[in-house]
Amino acid sequence: MRTRPVIGVTLDAEEPGGYSKLPWYALRKNYFSAIAAAGGLPVALPHDADLAEAYLDEIDGLVITGGAFDVDPALYGGGDTHPTVTLKAGRTDFELAVTRGALARDMPVLGICGGQQLLAVALGGTLIQHIPDTVANALEHEQPNPRTEPGHPIAIAPDTLLARITGTEGMAVNSAHHQAVATPGTGAVVNALAPDGVVEGVESTAHRFALGVQWHPEYAVDPADPLIFRAFVEACRHG
């Protein structure tokens, strides 16, 4: 019998250069350590959309991670691709396949930063391709200070899963994104906003645990950040 729920964690992918002369996967250690500290057993998921269902047979929950890339606007009817958009088609193909598969099984899903945006797209939502071109008087969502420090506050919507998990009306969060959720998708709601109105969190009301946060709770910048991982792992434990 498993003592820890198995948590599948999506990886980032890089082209040759730096670590290896061949294409390689990468992910910061604190994603894994945050999941382990919350009681989960994190395992990495290489990008193969054809294996998405096989992976889902072996895991109890899914974490969709962030990265320095964007979801293809063609996947949500976003129109012409903004010059700032960076695509990683193989990664997105896999993450959409495994996320949609997890949602179909009502398996717990936690989307972080770009993973929150992908979760919204998987739920039928749309994205803002570049915040500075769309949001008047926007904050610096790609914060200039270290990611280990907060970039701005957020307001958490009452009567949401995020509010129940954190037990608070607001948090201080780090910020590392130039895109944001525009609409959260079918059966989904916005659960957090930045002071400039940019969406900072989404969640599905049609699933037992499908939560996306725009910041990086694995850094534990706010005391409520570890609570997000604990609630997620607990949902995976009782699947």
Q: What's the pLDDT tens digit per position in 217-239?
A: 999 999 999 999 999 999 999 87
Q: What's the pLDDT tens digit per position in 121-152?
A: 999 999 999 999 999 999 999 999 999 999 99
Q: What's the pLDDT tens digit per position in 41-65?
A: 999 999 999 999 999 999 999 999 9
1 or 52, higher pLDDT: 52
Are 82 and 129 in contact by the 8 Å Cβ rule? The answer is yes
Are 181 and 120 in contact by the 8 Å Cβ rule? The answer is yes
Q: Which residue numbers are catalytic?
A: 113, 216, 218
Q: In what order do the strands lie in the sheet with 41-45?
A: 41-45, 6-10, 61-64, 109-112, 210-213, 199-204, 188-193, 152-156, 170-173
Collapse the DSSP code of 97 into the 3-class scheme (helix H, G, I; strand E, B; otherwise coil) and give the result: helix
- Which has the closest alpha carbon to 121: 142, 92, 141? 92
Quote the percentage of the chain above a pLDDT of 70.
Answer: 100
